[in-house]
Structure 1
Amino acid sequence: MVKSEFSSAGRSVKELALHADLVFVGGGIAGTCGAIAAAREGLKVILVQDRPVLGGNASSEVRLWILGATSSMGNNNRWSREGGVLNEILVENMYRNPDGNAIILDTILLEMVKNESNITLLLNSAVYEVVKSSPDTIQEVIAFCSQNSTRYILSAPYFCDASGDGIVAFQSGAAFRMGAEAKDEFDEGFAPDKEYGELLGHSIYFFTKDMGRLITFTAPSYALKDVSSIVKYRSYELSDHGCKLWWLEYGGRLDTVHQTEEIKWELWKIIYGIWDHVKNSGKYPEAENLTLEWVGHIPGKRESRRFEGDYILSQKDVVEQRDHADAVSYGGWSLDLHPADGVFSERPGCNQWHSKGVYQIPLRCLYSKNIKNLWLAGRIISASHVAFGSSRVMATVAYTAQVLGLATQYCLKNNISPAELANSSKVKELQQGLLQEGHFIPGVEPVITNLSNNAILTASSEYKLAELKSNGDWHKLDYSTAQLLPLSKGGKIKIGIELDADADTNLTFQLRTSRKPINYSPEVILESIELSIEKGINGVEIEFNTLIENDQYVFFCILKNELVSFKTSKMFLTGTMMLMNRYNKAVATSGVQLPPDGIGIDSFEFWLPSRRPAHQNMALKISPALEPFKVSNLNSGICRPTNRTNAWVADINDKSPSVTLSWKEPIEISRIVLFFDSDFDHPLESTLRVHPERVVPHTVNNYKIMDAKGMLIYERTGNYQTINEVNFDIKLKTSAITLYLEHPSSNLPAALFEVQVY
C-alpha cells in the first residue's frame, strides 16, 4: 500500500536521466531506420517516439505505403529501390506480410528495434524542451511519457531531429522555412504561386469491408453535408481504400504545425460526409453490404517546417541530377506538389514531374547550419519547397537517415561537427564506408579494401547472354516495347526475334540509349531500321552497326504495331528486363512527359516493366553473345545494376554453381558478407498492396561455404534477405573459400553481387 499525506509544495513526476552517443527524436520510418543503422555501427542510441508504435506514416495509425525512387514502377528509375535497413524491413515485411497488413508491419519495426541491444526505445514519449550548453550546441532534450508518468532527460554529443515538424531544431533556434520559395530564389520554374498554394496538406485514410449483409449508416452530426464538389473533382471508386485515397487532403492554407487538430477534424468531416453520400444517396447501391471498418485517428502529414543546412536542395539538383562532392544518398520520386485547397480544389490532386533518373542528396542537407551537433532526418532536411516535393517520401527519408549512424561515428572518432565532416576530405572516407556496407550512392565509385580485393576469383561458369529462350506466350505490340540489354564499350549487336503478323506490314526496330550512362530513359536513338514483315510467322534478324561508346544499357526497341506479336520468354536474369512505352496512371497521365514551357522540367518517354507476376522478357537470339556477368563483377563494390549488371550470374545449366576466392598464402577470416539479388526494381510497398510471392524470385535461397580443404564452414537454407553476414567466433585460417549456390528456379540462374571477406 502507498499512502502519502498532503504536500503543499506539490509533487514532481519521476525523472530519469539517460545518456547516449546519439539521440534520435522521432520514430517514423526515418528515425527507426536511422536508429537501427546507428546501433549497428556500435553507437549507443536513444530512440524517442511520441506514439505507441514506430513507423509514423507507415504505421497502423496512418497506413501509408512506403515508396521512394521506384515510384510504383511508374518512372524510368530502374533498380532504384532503397537498400540497407529499409530494404531489410521491406523484404522481411513481404515474407511475413504479403497482404500488406499495417499492424504486422508495426510488429516487424518494433521487433527490429528491440533486437538491437544498443538502442534504448522510449515510446509514448514526447520531447517538449531543448536545453543548450551554448548558443549553437544542444546539451539535452527533455521528454515526458504519459503512460508511465516519467520525465526523461536525454543527453548526448549528437542529436538527430526526425520528428516531422522539427521540434528539436525549432526549439534550438535553428533556421527554418515554411511555405514555397519564389521562383527566382533558386531559379525554380515549378515553384507554385499563391493561387496554387505554398503547403501540402494532411490526409486521413479509411478502410471498408464487405459484411455479406445489409449494413446501414447514420452519419455523425459533424459530417460534411454536401460533398458534391469533392465527388465532382476527385475520382472515388468503392474498391479504393487506405492510401489509395491519398487525395483526401486538406490543410495547405493553414498552419500545418499548430492547426493540425483543426485539420484532423475537417478531414473527419470530409470522410464521414463521403461515406454518408455513398451509403445514403442512392447512387451506390453496390455499397449496401459495406461497412466503414477503420478511419485514421491522426492525420498523415506531408509538409510543415524545413530546416536550413549548408546546402538547400532545389529543383535543378533533381532535374539536372547534379553531382555533389559530399553525396551520401539519393532520391527519385517525382517533383510532387499538391494544390493547397486539397479536396476542395478544382485542380488535379497532385502535379507530378519526373526526372530522367535518380539524383544525389548531399550530406550538407542533413544537418542544421546553426546548431553544430544537430542532424536532420525525415521530411525536414534542407530542401526548397519544390525539391521537398520529391525528397519527402518515406523510402527516400529512411534511406537518407541510415547515413547518419556511420556519419556520427566519424564525427565522434575525429571530434568534429557534421559540418566539418561534410566540408572536409573526411567525407570521402564516409562515402567509402557507406559503399562498403552496400549503400548505393549514384555516381560514386567504390574502392575495395576488404580481403576479397586480393583474392583470385574463379567460377564454375559465367552466364553468356546468347538467347532468351522462346518458351513464353505471344505478346501483341500494343505498345512500343524494348528489351533492356547490358552492352560493353565498343560492342555491336545482332538480334534474332520471332514475329507473328496478322497482315503484311512494316515494322521499325531501334537501338536506343540514355545520355547519362547510369540513366534508363531511352532518349537517344542510336540506329533505326525498318523492315517489311510478311503475314504469318517470321524469323527476323536485325543487325545494328552502331558501336557502343560506354559500358551502358541499351534498349532494343520495336515500335508499336498492333498487327504484330512477338514471342516472349519465361527466362529471367539479374539485370535484364522488358519495358513498354506506357504509363502508370498513379504517377503520370501519358506515356510521354510533356511539361508546360518555362517550368524547367524535361520532356521524355516513360518505358516501364510489367509488375510481377506479369513480368516477362522478349524471346531473343543475340550475337555475339553478351558477357556481362563475369565473376570479376564480385569486386565491383556496387550491389545493383547501374550502367552495367555488377553481378556474377552462373549458367542456368550449371548443376552446381560455385565461385572460389583463393589467396597465395593462408589468411585469417572473421567475417564473410554476401550480397544477393532481391530485385531492386520491385517497389515492395509495405501496406495495402498484395504481393504475389513471399520471397523475391531472384534471391538465392540455399547456399554453403567450404574452405580450401573442402570442409563445410557454413550452410544456409531458406534465405530470402539481400545481405547475409557470416561471423566466425574463432577466426578461420584458409587459403581459399568456395561458395556453392543453388539456382532460385529453373528459369532464373543464381546471381551474386558481391563477396566481402574480413
Structure 2
Amino acid sequence: MKLLWMILLLSISWSLKADNIFIEAESFDNKGGWVLDNQSMKQMGSSYLLAHGLGIPVKNASTKFQIENKGKYRIWVRTRNWVKKWDQTAAPGRFKVLLNGKALEKTFGTEKAEWHWQNGGIITLKAGENKIELQDLTGFDGRCDAVFLTSDMNMLLPDSGNELADFRRNMSEEPIIPEDGGEYDLVVVGGGIAGCCAAISAARLGCKVALIQNRPVLGGNNSSEVRVGLSGLITQQPYPQLGNLVDELGPVGYWNDWEAQQDTSSLRSKQIMKILRQEPARKIHNAGPFFIYEDNKKLELLQNEKNLNLFLNTQAVDVQTKGNKIIAIIGKNIESGKEYIFKGQLFSDCTGDGEIGFLAGADYRMGRESKAETGELRAPLIADQLVMGTSVQWYAEDTQDISVFPNCPWAIQFNDTTCIPITRGDWDWEVGLNDNQITEIESIRDYALRAIYGNWDFLKNKSKMKEQFARKKLTWVAYIGGKRESRRLMGDLVLREQDILNNIQYEDATFTTTWGIDLHYPKPIPGIKEAPFLSYCDVQDIKPYAVPYRCLYSRNIENLFMAGRNISVTHIALGTVRVMRTGGMMGEVVGMAASLCKKHCTNPRYIYLKYLSELKTLMKRGIGKPGFPEAGNIN
C-alpha cells in the first residue's frame, strides 16, 4: 500500500507541471450565504462550506481562478450526502457547481455518506480568468470541502487520512515549514469564556500572551453561534474578587431571575434585576437573539488588552514537545490554510475537548468512571463511555404572513403523539450522549438537525395544530454544536463528587463552584424508534465549594494548564464545574498562576509546592474591574 501511494505521489508531482487547479471551498472570495464549518476539521482534514438555510436556498458562494491553457478538464468536488447513513434514497444537501455562469449537469451531495470526491465530468475552460460558483438547491445543509480541476483525466484522488493531507499540501503548494507566529510566556488555546479570562488575566499581570481561537468570534458556547447563557455565581468566598473579569466579558445579559436573587451582592442583584425588567429579551438565557451574547464586546476587550495577541480563525492542529514539555503549537487558519507556529514557555488548554493535552500525550479520561474506582454515589457500577451531550438549539418567530416549510421525508418522522409543539429548542435538545463527542461531532450535529427539521415539518405541514404554526417561521438553528463533555485532562488531584458534597477543604482552594451537580441523560420519546435527541437533567444541590488549584494543571505534561470543562474532575464532578462563569474564574486563576511561573521561572506544579501563598495573594486582590462595570448608575 505504501509503495502504491509513493507511485501516486510521483504521478501527482508530475501532474503539478500540467494544468491542475485546487480550490479549497473555505477560501472562496465570496462565501455568499454559505457558512464556514470546522468542527470536524481534525477528522475530515479541512474546514468546509455549509449551506445552512433552514430550508431556503442560500446565496451562491463564488471565487475566480486563472488557468494558462484553454482545454478540457475533469472536475472533482469533495462533498458528502449527509443523511445517507440514515436514509438510502434522499439527498437534502444538493447543490450545483457553476463554471462561468453555466451549471454543470451533475448535481452534487447526492452520493456517498462519507466525505469523498464526486466526479463532475469533463468540462471546457477558457484561458485566463474563470469563475466558479456553488449553487445551493435546498437550504438543507449541503456541504463542499474543495473543488479540483485537472487536465489529467486518469488522476487518482485520495479520500482520507495522511494521503489526503499530502495531496492537499502538494496541490495547494502549502509551505512545509509553518510561518512564525511569535514566542510567548503563555499560549492559550480556546477562546471561550475560560480561555478569554486566562489570556486577559495573564496579560494584565505582565505575561506576553497569545490567544488562539478556531472560530471568527469569541465566547465559545456563549457566542452568538451557539447561544448558551452564562451560568454559575461569581465573586464568592473565599476569594470574592474572582469573577470580576467574567463580568467585564458579559455582565449585563444572560442572567436569569434565580441567579440574580442568589447573588451575594445586594447592589449587584438590584442592578441585574433592573436590567432584566428594562430589557426582557435578556431573560432568555439560551437560544436568544444574537445581540444579547455581545460578540463585539468580547472582541474589543481582547483586542484592546496590552500584552495580548489574538489569533481568530486558527485551529490548533499539532503540538511540538520536548520530553514532557510542550514547546510549540501549530495553528492552521481555517480559511486560508496557512500554518503558523506559536512557541511558548507555558500553555493553557481551554479547548473544551482537551485537544492540546491529547496531542501532547497528557493523561485524560472520557466517559464515566466506575463506583469502585471513585467511590462516588452516582457513579455506575461499571465504567462506560456515556457523556453529557451536545445541544443544538433553535427558535421560531411570528410572522405576519403564512410561512411555508418544505417537507422533510429524510428527517426523523413525528406524529401527533410524538411531536413537540414548541417554538424554541433549549439546552435539552441534546444529542450524542452515547457517542464520541470529538470524532463523531459532524454526525452528532447532523442527527440533531434531522430531529429539529422533522419536528418542524410535522408541526407546519401535517399536525392537528398546523393552523397555530402557520404564521411561525423557523428563524435560527445553531450549526455549531454546544458541547458539554468530552476529554477531561488529569491533574495532580482529580475532584470527586464526595469532595464537593462533604465540603472537603483543600489548602489550595481557588475558584468557587455554585452550580448543582447537574448530570444529563438521554430522554427517549415513546413511539420514536431512533436514538434520543432530547435529554433530562438530574441535579444534586450543593453548597458553594472552592475547587483545588491542582485540578488546573496536567499531572504529566510539565508546562500545561487547563481551564473550562476539560479540567481534572470525574464525570460526576464535571456536573458542577462545567458552567461558563465558573470556567471564567478558572481562567482568572490560571492567568495568575502563569504570571507566577514567569516570575519564578518555574512550572504549574511548583506554584502549589512553593508559591501557593503568592497565588492566594493574587486571588484576594483579583484581576478584574470590580463593581459590575457597564451597569452604569443603575440604583
TM-score clears 0.5? yes
Superimposed CA distance per residue, residues 471-518 of structure 1 (whole angstroms, 9 cap, x where no aligned partner): xxxxxxxxxxxxxxxxxxxxxxxxxxxxxxxxxxxxxxxxxxxxxxxx
Cα separation, partners in 2 of 1:15 and 1:265, compared to 1, 3 Å: same
1:16 aligns with 2:180: yes
Cα separation, partners in 2 of 1:3 and 1:280, compared to 1, 3 Å: closer
Superimposed CA distance per residue, residues 145-183 of structure 1 (whole angstroms, 9 cap, x where no aligned partner): 033442110011000000111111001000000010111
What residue number does 2:500 align with?
A: 318
Structure showing greater Rg = 1
1:276 aligns with 2:436: no
Aligned-partner residue type, residue 609 of structure 2: N
Counterpart-to-counterpart distance in 1, 2:356 and 2:206: 24
Counterpart-to-counterpart distance in 2, 1:15 and 1:5: 29
Q: CA deviation at 1:131?
A: 0.4
Counterpart-to-counterpart distance in 1, 2:223 and 2:439: 22
Aligned-partner residue type, residue 312 of structure 1: V
Q: CA deviation at 1:415?
A: 1.4
Q: Is this contact kept in 2: 1:68–1:332, CA < 8 A? A: yes
Q: Is this contact kept in 1: 2:241–2:620, CA < 8 A? A: no
Counterpart-to-counterpart distance in 1, 2:430 and 2:241: 27
What residue number does 2:256 align with?
A: none
Counterpart-to-counterpart distance in 2, 1:44 and 1:79: 25
What residue number does 1:514 align with?
A: none
Cα separation, partners in 2 of 1:227 and 1:414, compared to 1, 3 Å: farther
1:337 aligns with 2:519: yes
1:110 aligns with 2:296: no
Counterpart-to-counterpart distance in 1, 2:378 and 2:216: 38
What residue number does 1:435 align with?
A: 620
1:30 aligns with 2:191: no
Cα separation, partners in 2 of 1:249 and 1:34, compared to 1, 3 Å: same
Cα separation, partners in 2 of 1:174 and 1:55, compared to 1, 3 Å: same
What residue number does 1:394 align with?
A: 580
Aligned-partner residue type, residue 286 of structure 1: Q
What residue number does 1:40 align with?
A: 204
For structure 2, the 5+ residue unaligned runs are: 1-64, 70-168, 254-271, 283-288, 526-530
1:261 aligns with 2:439: no
Matches within 5 A, 1:530-569: none
Counterpart-to-counterpart distance in 1, 2:470 and 2:384: 38
Counterpart-to-counterpart distance in 2, 1:82 and 1:433: 10
Match of 1:293 among 448, 460, 475: 475
Counterpart-to-counterpart distance in 1, 2:355 and 2:463: 47
> Is 95-104 or 222-231 further displaced after alignment?
95-104
Q: CA deviation at 1:199?
A: 1.1
Counterpart-to-counterpart distance in 1, 2:306 and 2:401: 50
Counterpart-to-counterpart distance in 2, 1:33 and 1:259: 29
RMSD: 3.3
1:91 aligns with 2:272: no
Q: CA deviation at 1:277?
A: 2.1
Aligned-partner residue type, residue 150 of structure 1: K
Q: Is this contact kept in 2: 1:238–1:287, CA < 8 A? A: no
Match of 1:371, SS?
A: coil
Match of 2:541 among 332, 354, 368: 354
Match of 1:303, SS?
A: coil
Q: Is this contact kept in 2: 1:50–1:123, CA < 8 A? A: yes
Q: Is this contact kept in 2: 1:252–1:341, CA < 8 A? A: no
Q: Is this contact kept in 2: 1:249–1:342, CA < 8 A? A: no
Match of 1:309 among 491, 501, 526: 491
For structure 1, the 5+ residue unaligned runs are: 71-75, 440-672, 679-693, 696-718, 721-743, 746-758
Aligned-partner residue type, residue 113 of structure 1: L
Counterpart-to-counterpart distance in 1, 2:623 and 2:608: 20
Match of 1:138, SS?
A: strand
Counterpart-to-counterpart distance in 2, 1:79 and 1:427: 14
Superimposed CA distance per residue, residues 328-369 of structure 1 (whole angstroms, 9 cap, x where no aligned partner): 1111111111114677559971111111x1101111000100
Counterpart-to-counterpart distance in 1, 2:532 and 2:333: 40
Match of 1:34, SS?
A: helix
Superimposed CA distance per residue, residues 55-111 of structure 1 (whole angstroms, 9 cap, x where no aligned partner): 1111111111110148xxxxx999999722112223255879873443451111111
Q: CA deviation at 1:253?
A: 1.1
Q: Is this contact kept in 1: 2:180–2:341, CA < 8 A? A: yes
Q: Is this contact kept in 2: 1:68–1:81, CA < 8 A? A: no
Matches within 5 A, 1:529-608: none
What residue number does 1:174 align with?
A: 362
Q: Is this contact kept in 2: 1:203–1:246, CA < 8 A? A: yes
Match of 1:318, SS?
A: helix
Cα separation, partners in 2 of 1:200 and 1:348, compared to 1, 3 Å: closer
Counterpart-to-counterpart distance in 2, 1:411 and 1:165: 25
What residue number does 2:75 align with?
A: none
Q: Is this contact kept in 1: 2:562–2:590, CA < 8 A? A: no
Aligned-partner residue type, residue 268 of structure 1: L
Matches within 5 A, 1:306-705: 306-340=488-522, 344=531, 349-355=536-542, 357-424=543-610, 426-437=611-622, 675-676=626-627, 695=631
Aligned-partner residue type, residue 170 of structure 1: F
Match of 1:337, SS?
A: strand
Cα separation, partners in 2 of 1:301 and 1:27, compared to 1, 3 Å: same
Match of 1:21, SS?
A: strand
What residue number does 1:198 align with?
A: 386
Superimposed CA distance per residue, residues 367-415 of structure 1 (whole angstroms, 9 cap, x where no aligned partner): 1000010001110000000001111111111111111111111111111
Superimposed CA distance per residue, residues 221-275 of structure 1 (whole angstroms, 9 cap, x where no aligned partner): 43211367754xxxx5535x25xx2111111111111011110110000011111
What residue number does 2:331 align with?
A: 143
Aligned-partner residue type, residue 353 of structure 1: Q
Cα separation, partners in 2 of 1:97 and 1:61, compared to 1, 3 Å: farther
Aligned-partner residue type, residue 292 of structure 1: L
Tell me the TM-score normalized by structure 1: 0.53
Match of 1:238 among 389, 403, 422: 422
Q: Is this contact kept in 2: 1:250–1:342, CA < 8 A? A: no
What is the aligned-residue identity percentage? 33
Aligned-partner residue type, residue 396 of structure 2: T
Cα separation, partners in 2 of 1:97 and 1:50, compared to 1, 3 Å: farther
Match of 1:91, SS?
A: coil
Q: Which has the higher helix share?
A: 2
Counterpart-to-counterpart distance in 1, 2:191 and 2:494: 24
Q: Is this contact kept in 2: 1:21–1:44, CA < 8 A? A: yes
Counterpart-to-counterpart distance in 2, 1:413 and 1:195: 42
Q: CA deviation at 1:39?
A: 1.5
What residue number does 1:656 align with?
A: none
Q: Is this contact kept in 2: 1:58–1:102, CA < 8 A? A: no
Q: CA deviation at 1:435?
A: 0.7
Aligned-partner residue type, residue 504 of structure 2: R
What residue number does 1:223 align with?
A: 411
Q: CA deviation at 1:40?
A: 1.3
Counterpart-to-counterpart distance in 1, 2:239 and 2:622: 18
Q: Which has the higher strand share?
A: 1
Aligned-partner residue type, residue 309 of structure 2: T
Counterpart-to-counterpart distance in 1, 2:513 and 2:183: 33
Match of 2:188, SS?
A: strand
Counterpart-to-counterpart distance in 1, 2:251 and 2:451: 35
Counterpart-to-counterpart distance in 2, 1:143 and 1:410: 26
Matches within 5 A, 1:742-757: 745=635
Cα separation, partners in 2 of 1:42 and 1:97, compared to 1, 3 Å: farther
Aligned-partner residue type, residue 238 of structure 1: I
Superimposed CA distance per residue, residues 601-644 of structure 1 (whole angstroms, 9 cap, x where no aligned partner): xxxxxxxxxxxxxxxxxxxxxxxxxxxxxxxxxxxxxxxxxxxx
Aligned-partner residue type, residue 56 of structure 1: G
Superimposed CA distance per residue, residues 525-565 of structure 1 (whole angstroms, 9 cap, x where no aligned partner): xxxxxxxxxxxxxxxxxxxxxxxxxxxxxxxxxxxxxxxxx
Cα separation, partners in 2 of 1:4 and 1:119, compared to 1, 3 Å: farther
Q: CA deviation at 1:46?
A: 0.5
